[in-house]
């Protein structure tokens, strides 16, 4: 009788060997992953530590700013300054609703919306109100448009004063108008002068109270250039005090807000107020 191994035994032995090798091969990568978990970048994986996540956020912001600058330079439609078709449809819907509401208001005060002088008044009023509250569709970052420049040599007060503002009192929805004065001390970065006026415009074209408007302008400049100090003064006339209520025509409201060395150093604060009062 032959002592050679039967075909069935050989097949069983081969299957056992392959199974063993497969198990060892499957186990090896898992062991490597466990050993190298701390070095995920070397495996082509994305690190999610706080430092890397912050770096990716900064990079994405830079890319968005470049795309915005390129689209503005080439005149192409930009997500920042051109409404999409859906936005245009929404604006048309708002106009329709506001026009209808104005018709109702005219009837409630005893007017006839169908008379010649008032036929187009509801639509004009709706468009005017949307313009006077256009600040809701903008942000300080958008109007700033990267107009921040490195400048280490200037460490004195920069003042832009007598900036006209027109806003609407949120309590009665009637206008208040006046001037805003802005001063800041650079800390290595300066802001384009016209952008200061545009920042004031963004926040004034909303339903406002003067106190909050003053603070919002200060906070926007702090966020933009991180100055050593900043101060904002607004003086305005409120038509809710002129056309109704106490009806005091000559009354003016003055508000101020200061940060940094304007707040901590009385001499710096006094210098700012002396400049804007010349």
Active site residues: 169-172, 210, 238, 240
* DSSP per position, 97-108: HHHHHHHHHHHH
Angle between helices 193-204 and 210-225 (to 10 degrees): 140
Backbone angles phi, psi at 51, to 5 degrees: -65, -45
Exposure string of 117-150, with b = 16+ CB inside 10 Å and e = fewer, is: eeeebbeebbeebeebbebeebebbebbbeeeee
Give me 28's structure tokens. 């090896």
Report d(CA 17, CA 234) in Å as an integer: 86
Report d(CA 36, CA 43) in Å as an integer: 9
Residue tagged 């070397």 (tokens):
42
Burial class (CB in 10 A: 0-12, 13-18, 19+), 71: middle
Report d(CA 152, CA 185) in Å as an integer: 11
Within 42-162, residue ranges assigned H as helices are 50-74, 85-108, 121-132, 140-144
Report d(CA 247, CA 239) in Å as an integer: 8
């Amino acid at each position: 009788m032959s002592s050679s191994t039967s075909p069935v035994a050989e097949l069983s032995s081969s299957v056992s060997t392959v199974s063993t090798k497969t198990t060892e091969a499957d186990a090896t990568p898992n062991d490597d992953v466990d050993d190298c978990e701390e070095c995920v970048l070397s495996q082509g994986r994305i690190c999610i530590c706080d430092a890397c996540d912050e770096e990716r956020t900064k990079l994405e912001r830079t890319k968005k700013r470049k795309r915005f600058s390129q689209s503005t330079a080439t005149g192409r439609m930009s997500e920042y300054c051109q409404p999409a078709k859906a936005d245009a449809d929404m604006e048309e819907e708002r106009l329709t609703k506001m026009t209808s509401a104005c018709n109702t208001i005219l009837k409630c005060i005893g007017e006839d919306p169908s008379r010649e002088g008032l036929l187009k008044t509801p639509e004009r009023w709706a468009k005017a109100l949307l313009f006077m509250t256009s600040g809701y569709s903008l942000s300080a970052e958008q109007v700033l448009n990267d107009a921040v420049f490195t400048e280490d040599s200037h460490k004195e007060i920069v003042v832009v004063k007598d900036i006209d503002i027109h806003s609407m009192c949120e309590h009665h929805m009637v206008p208040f108008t006046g001037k805003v004065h802005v001063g800041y001390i650079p800390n290595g970065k300066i802001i384009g002068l016209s952008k200061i006026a545009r920042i004031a415009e963004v926040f004034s074209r909303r339903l406002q109270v003067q106190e909050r408007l003053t603070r919002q302008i200060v906070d926007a400049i702090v966020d933009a250039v991180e100055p050593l100090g900043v101060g904002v003064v607004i003086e305005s006339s409120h038509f809710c005090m002129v056309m109704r209520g106490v009806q005091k025509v000559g009354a003016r409201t003055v508000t101020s807000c200061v940060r940094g060395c304007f707040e901590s150093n009385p001499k710096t604060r006094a210098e700012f107020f002396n400049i804007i009062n010349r």
